[in-house]
Amino acid sequence: MYRLFLFVAMSSILPNWLYADLRLGVFEVDATPAIGSPLAYDPMREATLPLSCRGVVLTGEQQPIVICCVDWLGIANDSADLFRNTLAQAVNTSVNRVVVHTLHQHDAPRCDLTAAKILGEYGQAAAHYDVPFIKDVVSRAGLAAAQAAKEAQTVTSISTGVATVENVASNRRLLGPDGKVHTTRYTACKDPAIRDLPVGVIDPQLKLLAFEGTRGPIAAITFYATHPQSYYRTGGANPDFPGMARNSRQSSSGVFHLHLNGAGGNIGAGKYNDGSHENRQVLAERVAAAMKLAFDNRQTSQLESVDWSFRELVAPLAEHLNEAELTAAVADDSTPYALRGHAAEKLAFLQRTNAGIQLQVSRLRIGANQILFMPGELFVEYQLAAQHMAPDSNVMLAAYGEYGTQYIGTRVAYDQGGYETSDRATNVSPRIEGVLTEAMRDLLAASDRRLLPSDYTERTGALPKRD
Ligand SMILES: [Zn+2]
C-alpha cells in the first residue's frame, strides 16, 4: 500500500535570548484519579502515593517555553494536543514551544482522548479513560502554569551534573547467536537465570540541568532512561521508583524537581528487580543517590543564549495498522477489554496520521547544552546516537512525549523480533529511524551525520538459538 510520507522541516527563526532576560517559574498540580477510575490495567482501589503533573515555564524577551511531565502511562493523540494547547494559551506562547511528557508508570492512568472518542461510540469510553478527570488535570495545569509564568524568577546561571545510576537499568531484549530476540527480560524478572544475563546496551548516566537564581537553585531537571516499573497491577496508583526518587530529592533539597524519562523503551530494571515489594524502595534510593550526586557535583556555567527549535514530521505508519480490522475489533463486544482499548489507541493514531497530523521533535539549547524532546517509547540507541553525533554538546534527552507511536525501535530491532517491535506494541514502521535521525541531526547541528541509532543495537547474543 502506498503511504504518504512527508517530512516537513520547520525551523525556529526567532533570535536567541540573551541570558539577562531569562526567568523561570515552576508549577505542580495533583494528577491522582479518584478511587474507581480506570488505571492502565485495573480500576483504581487506592492512592498508594499521589501522582503529579509538574513543569517549568521559561520566560524572557521571546515567547515562553513550557516543559511538563505527568506521572501517567502515556499521553497520546488529541489529549497531547489538549495539554499542549492549554499550557500554550495559559502562558501566551505558541504550541510548538510546549512539550508534555510522561514517566510511563503503569499503576497510573492512560490518557488518549481520541481513543476515548472512538470507544465512546460503543459506550466503552468510561471503562478505559476518566475523561472528566483528564480534562480537570489539564485545566488545573493551565492555571498553575499561568501563575508560574507570573511568578517566574530571574535565572542568573545554569548548572549541569551527571552521575552513574548503579544497578537499575538493563536491556530487555536478550539475543541469541542468530541475532533474534531470544528472551524478553521484563521490568520485574523472577527467573534468576535471566537476571544473570548481561546488562546489554543501556545509558547508565543520569543527567541534571539546574537553573540557578539569586537565592540558590530554582529548579532541577533530571533525565534517566528506564521503564519505571518495580511491580504493578496493584490497583494502587503510585509514581513508582523514579517518581519516588524525584519526590525524595525535592523534599530533602528544597529545590523543585522535574524528572523526565529518557529513551527507556527497551530498558527496564529487570536484571536488578525480582518484583518483590521491598525492592521498589531500593530502586528509588539508587536513582535518588545518582540525582543527589549529580546535583551536589553540578558545575555552574554562565548563561550564553537560549534557543528553541523543532521539526514536525509525519510518522511512517506500521504496515500492520488496518483501519477496517481495528474498527471491527473496537465495535465487537466480545473483544477482550485490553485488546479493545489497544485497538482504539491504534485506530486513533492511524486516523490522525492519515489526516496529516504530525509529530514534533524539539530541542532546547542553553549554551553548550542541548535537550531533545522526543515522542514515544523510544529505544535507548537514539539517546546514545544523539550524544555521539554532537560530541561538543552536553546532550540530554526526554522521550515519552506524544505516546500515539507506542514503541519506537531502531531499524535493525524490527528484524530481531521481540515484544517491543511486535505488531501489538509498535505503531510505526522501521523507517521511523531515518525520519527521527534526520530531525535529531538538524536540531543538534550534528557534526557526525553518519551515525545511526541502529549502530548501537547489539547484533548477536550469547543465548542458545530458539527452537
Ligand atoms: Zn512501556
Quick: pLDDT tens for 319-331: 999 999 999 999 9
**CA angle centred on 421, ends 110 and 53, rounded to 5°:** 25
* pLDDT at residue 241 greater than cutoff 60: yes
**Distance from Cα 374 to the centre of ligand 1, integer Å:** 15
Strand partners, 162: 207
**Distance from Cα 375 to the centre of ligand 1, integer Å:** 13
Whole-number percent of the chain with pLDDT over 70: 95
**Distance from Cα 265 to the centre of ligand 1, integer Å:** 6
| pLDDT score at 18 | 53
The average pLDDT across 350-364 equals: 98
Q: Is 244 helix (H, G, I), strand (E, B) or coil?
A: helix
Residue 1 burial (C-beta neighbours within 10 Å; 0-12, 13-18, 19+): exposed
Residue 465 belongs to some domain of the structure: no
**Distance from Cα 302 to the centre of ligand 1, integer Å:** 37
* pLDDT at residue 341 greater than cutoff 60: yes
The average pLDDT across 133-137 equals: 98
* pLDDT at residue 19 greater than cutoff 70: no
The 10 Å Cβ neighbour count of residue 41 is: 17
Of 18-27, 66-75, 194-203, 273-282, which range is least confident?
18-27
Residue 327 belongs to some domain of the structure: yes
Residue 464 belongs to some domain of the structure: no
- Residue 10: which pLDDT band, with cuts at 50, 70 and 90? very low
Q: For residue 32, what are the contacts with CB-CB under 8 A and spacing of at least 6?
A: 47, 50, 51, 237
**Distance from Cα 377 to the centre of ligand 1, integer Å:** 6
| pLDDT score at 9 | 39
**CA 381, CA 177: separation in Å to the nearest integer?**
20
**Distance from Cα 420 to the centre of ligand 1, integer Å:** 8
| pLDDT score at 302 | 86
- Residue 305: which pLDDT band, with cuts at 50, 70 and 90? confident
| pLDDT score at 466 | 53
- Residue 461: which pLDDT band, with cuts at 50, 70 and 90? confident
| pLDDT score at 438 | 98
Residue 312 belongs to some domain of the structure: yes
**Distance from Cα 448 to the centre of ligand 1, integer Å:** 30
**Distance from Cα 399 to the centre of ligand 1, integer Å:** 11
- Residue 3: which pLDDT band, with cuts at 50, 70 and 90? very low
| pLDDT score at 464 | 66
**CA angle centred on 389, ends 387 and 394, rounded to 5°:** 35
**Distance from Cα 361 to the centre of ligand 1, integer Å:** 20
Residue 124 C-alpha cell reads as 466503552
Between these two residues, 302 and 239, which has the higher pLDDT value? 239
Q: How many domains does the chain have?
A: 1
* pLDDT at residue 14 greater than cutoff 50: no
**Distance from Cα 65 to the centre of ligand 1, integer Å:** 27
Residue 180 belongs to some domain of the structure: yes
**Distance from Cα 289 to the centre of ligand 1, integer Å:** 24
**Distance from Cα 425 to the centre of ligand 1, integer Å:** 9
pTM for this prediction:
0.95
**Distance from Cα 227 to the centre of ligand 1, integer Å:** 6
**Distance from Cα 105 to the centre of ligand 1, integer Å:** 8
* pLDDT at residue 132 greater than cutoff 90: yes
**CA 227, CA 106: separation in Å to the nearest integer?**
10
Distances (CA, A) of 239 to 72, 280, 414, 427, 457: 8, 11, 30, 26, 30
pLDDT in tens, 408-427: 999 999 999 999 999 999 99
The average pLDDT across 216-226 equals: 98
- Residue 20: which pLDDT band, with cuts at 50, 70 and 90? low
Surrounding ion ligand 1 within 5 Å at CB are 377
Residue 323 belongs to some domain of the structure: yes
**Distance from Cα 232 to the centre of ligand 1, integer Å:** 12
* pLDDT at residue 17 greater than cutoff 70: no
* pLDDT at residue 364 greater than cutoff 90: yes
**Distance from Cα 64 to the centre of ligand 1, integer Å:** 31
Pairing of strands 181-184, 173-175: antiparallel
| pLDDT score at 314 | 95
| pLDDT score at 304 | 80
* pLDDT at residue 6 greater than cutoff 50: no
| pLDDT score at 343 | 98
| pLDDT score at 165 | 98
* pLDDT at residue 70 greater than cutoff 60: yes
**Distance from Cα 14 to the centre of ligand 1, integer Å:** 36
**Distance from Cα 149 to the centre of ligand 1, integer Å:** 33
Q: What domain range includes position 186?
A: 7-456
pLDDT in tens, 77-101: 999 999 999 999 999 999 999 999 9
| pLDDT score at 227 | 98
The average pLDDT across 265-274 equals: 98
**Distance from Cα 228 to the centre of ligand 1, integer Å:** 9
Mean pLDDT value across the chain: 94
The average pLDDT across 23-36 equals: 98
Residue 161 belongs to some domain of the structure: yes
**Distance from Cα 92 to the centre of ligand 1, integer Å:** 33
Residue 2 belongs to some domain of the structure: no
* pLDDT at residue 56 greater than cutoff 60: yes
**Distance from Cα 23 to the centre of ligand 1, integer Å:** 34
User: Do 31 and 221 meet the contact criterion of CB atoms below 8 Å apart?
Assistant: no
